[in-house]
Amino acid sequence: MKAVTFWQVLPAIGVFLYFLVGLLVFSARTVLRGMPHDREIEGRGQSVFINFYFRNFFIWIVSPLWRLLLASGVRANAVTGIAAGLGASSGIAVACGRFALGGWLFLFSGILDALDGRLARAHGEALPSGTIVDSVLDRYADSLMLMGLAWYFRGSWVLIPTLGAILGTSLIPYVRAKAEALGVPSPPGLMQRAERILYLGTALALTPIFELIAAPHERHPFPRLAAIGIVFIAVTTNVTAIRRFWHLINVVDGQRRKRPA
């Protein structure tokens, strides 16, 4: 990773400040008028790392984009395709060492992915095939991002946790799908897709800013914040996958023992 200057990270600082100021405004609004609730996103549940407060904040802060998409008449499938394209592009960006670009592309891919299903329902276009396409493209976007990181860190110790993150992110949806096929509800887990996008995307996007502060004179600073984010994702995704796997085994064995002989 090449040394960065203040002007190179200025766009990232601007986007970061938009969300930071938005969080302060949202918090003040919550205190004065109560927290706005989005029933659809609350219906998806919460986790240790993203509770209902931050899920409602997310929908509130991206509401200008949502209104723009709704008014533009753009189809939900087009938004799904754009989200997948941004996710794939983020993998290329990080493979080339452009962490800020890759992080923001990954985050905006996740934002669009959160809105495409909502847009389909608003236009009366929600179909089972759309859900399948969306889910498959999500897997591709996640995998390409992590593959890009694996390529960049191919000569570093960070390659090991990156491969671990690829394993964890692939196992989580597989175990969930297996549980759903057997009619067993999966526990929420520590690291679902929204959490992975938020924490990994933010770590990557803020890496140049962090390095500008931590190592302003290094010509080729090591992307420390990116490495921390990858290790965090590797650990939490595999913990989530193992926890769901163990839950599934216990429930299935329990059901078998309850059957009459």
Where in the sequence numbering do the catalytic residues fall? 138
Q: Are 120 and 66 in contact (CB under 8 A)?
A: no
- CA dist., res. 195 & res. 192, Å (int): 5
Any idea which residue has 């965090």 for tokens? Answer: 232
Nearest to 87, CA basis, from 11, 145, 161, 165: 145
